[in-house]
Structure formats: C-alpha cells, structure tokens
Amino acid sequence: MLKQDLYQNGLRFLTILNPSWNVKFSFKHILKNRIDLKNPKTFNEKICWLKLYDYPNNQLVIDCTDKVKVRDYVRKKGLDNILNEVYQVCDSPEEIDFEKLPDEYAIKWNNDYGSTILCKKKTEAEIEKEKRKLNKLGNRKFFLNTAELHYSKIKPKIIAEKYLNDDSQTDLYDYKVYCFNGVPSFIMVCLERQSGHARFYYYDTDWNFLRLNIDGKKAAEDFSLPKPACLAELLRAAQILSENFKFVRSDFYIVNNKPVFGELTFSPSAGLDDDLEGDLDTLLTEHLIL
C-alpha cells in the first residue's frame, strides 16, 4: 500500500510540474513503450495527445465530460428520452436529502469516473458509509494521477439518479460505442462489471463479433452475445451525440430493450489501455485523425 501511495503521489507531482511528464512516465511504466507526442501513431498515443493539447481548452469537451452538464447537451440534441431519471444534484454529501431518495439509487460525482455508488437498500448505516466515501472521492482529484486536466475544469457536483434494473437479466451490460467524426464504428460490450472481473468484447455496427482484444481472443469458438433489439436506436443516438467531435465513446445501458444514456468518454483509460494491441489498435488508430 505504501509503495502504491508513493507511486500515485509521484504521478500527481509530475502533473503539477508538467502534465506531459506524467504522460511520458505512465506510458512507459504501463505500456512498456516510449510515447511519441510529436507524431502520435497508436490509439493510446493519440488519446494522450488529445488529453494534453486539446481537451483542457475545449469547452464543449469539458461540458460533455461533466455528468450534470452533459444532460443539457443530450436534451439539445433531442434525446431527452434516453436520459436516466435524476433525483437530486448537490454540491456536497452533506446537502443530499437521503430521506427523499428511494430505497434503490445510484450516486456519483460529476467530475469522476469508475466510482459510482450503487445503493440497493437504503439504511442509516449505508447512508453514513456513502457520505464518507463521497467525501473521500471528492477530495482525491484523480485527474492529477492521470493528467486528464479537462476534469479539473468541472465544478464538482453530486448527482443521485435512478438505479437501473433490467427485468430480463441480473447484470446490466455496458454498450460503449466508439465514434469518429460523428460515425459510430465499433461497440465494446462490458460484462460483469460489478463483479470486479469485467470482460470486454468488441463488435462492429452490424453486430459481427471481432476477436481483437484479449477477452475476444480467449472466447469460446461458439461465443456470441445476443444482438440488442434496440441496436439501431442506440447507434442513432451515438451518431447524434458524437457529431461534434473527432472522437468520443458514447456509453449506454440497455434497460428493457431501450437504450439509456450513461456518459460521453473522451479519454478511455486515460490513453493507457493495455488491452489495445495489434489489429485492435490498428483498427481504432486508422479512424482517429488528429
């Protein structure tokens, strides 16, 4: 734990000194390669270039990274129908009116990712636990660890929203659509995320399975996921939401055969995705033109 803390503190210090130093160090440490920021060639390199030299001063990217403000963007695009129900938006954990929340809900910071708190049964003990976790998350400023400085431009808010359930399955799948210049090109499906052992599978927009990443290559010969009945609707929403950007990943859930908007992701894995290699990296890289 001490070693990990020292490592994370070192990353934060590098970002404060010069964000590109963090990126160069992290790229070498995680991906075992030196990054070329002058002439980025791989998908990870291009995402790192964008997070350093584009996103921090791109107000639309900043607003659409904000999990509260992005809802206005979705509405302006005429897609109110895919928004999840929001119960409350607050400035701090102490302002949350837990009495008015239902027994099941999801709660998160608008300037964070991967840290949504899911409550399946509201109790006093659970509420206190959530307050402590939210305070801890609110103080961590994770963008210093990853040099994703566009997150630092977001005014922190807490958003409490409806807990999503699908009547036909216990685990919701994530459908993450990779879009380039307004064109949905690939779909990454994430399974068993809540188990802590998530698996990722790639499909093209015609729902052909692509054995390109680690999980895809290890999948059984007859492996397949059911094609969503609302795939055309989901892809249409992804197209509309992505039309203003060189690249964005439009993330959705599917609940009772209807797409529900999750978020817009501009720097997947902070540009440090060690699952991107070979044909998968080539495929994504060819589509992302800086």
For residue 194, what are its two tokens? 């809540």
Predicted local distance difference test score (pLDDT) of residue 5: 76
Question: Of 75-84, 121-130, 187-196, 277-286, which one has max mean pLDDT?
Answer: 75-84
| Shared-domain flag, residues 188 and 47 | yes
pLDDT at 27: 96
What CATH number is given to the structural domain containing 208?
3.30.470
Helix ranges, 77-164 (H): 124-139, 143-146
Separation between Cα atoms, residue 145 and residue 148, nearest integer Å: 8
pLDDT at 67: 97
Q: What is the pLDDT of residues 159-196, one digit of tens each?
A: 999 999 877 666 789 999 999 999 999 999 999 776 66
Instruction: Tell me what pLDDT residue 170 has.
Output: 66
170-175-176-180 Cα dihedral, nearest 10 degrees:
-170
Which pLDDT score is estimated for 4? 80
The number of folded domains in the chain is: 2
- Taking only the tens place, the pLDDT of each residue in 183-234 is 999 999 999 776 667 899 999 999 999 999 989 899 999 999 999 999 999 9
pLDDT, residue 9, reads 86
| Mean predicted lDDT score pLDDT of the chain | 93
* 246 vs 169, residue with greater confidence: 246
92 with 195, same domain?
Answer: no
Which of 163, 178, 210 is the last residue before a domain boundary? 163
CA distance 179 to 238: 7
Which tokens hold the place of 75?
Answer: 């509405």
pLDDT at 169: 66
Please check whether residues 154 and 211 belong to one and the same domain: no
Both 152 and 255 in one domain: the answer is no
Asked whether residue 173 is assigned to any structural domain, the reply reads yes
Residue 254 domain boundaries: 36-83+165-287
Tens of pLDDT, residue by residue over 61-114, are 999 999 999 999 999 999 999 999 999 999 999 999 999 999 999 999 999 887
Query: What are the pLDDT digits (tens) for 42-63?
Result: 999 999 999 999 999 999 999 9
Last-in-domain residue among 108, 131, 163: 163
Task: Answer yes or no: do 174 and 264 share one domain.
Answer: yes
Query: What does 177-200 look like in DSSP terms, one character per residue?
Result: EEEETTEEEEEEEEE-GGGT--EE
pLDDT value for 196: 67
Cα dihedral 82, 85, 88, 93 in deg (nearest 10): -80
Q: Is the per-residue pLDDT at 26 higher than 80?
A: yes
51 and 193, same structural domain?
A: yes
Regarding whether 70 and 169 lie in a shared domain, the answer is yes
Of 142, 163, 184, the last residue of a domain is 163
244 and 179 Cβ atoms separated by less than 8 Å: no
User: Average pLDDT for residues 100-129, to the nearest whole number?
Assistant: 90
**pTM as predicted:** 0.93
**Percent of the chain scored above 90 by pLDDT?**
76
Q: Does 22 reside within a domain?
A: no
d(CA 17, CA 19): 7
pLDDT (mean) for 255-267: 96
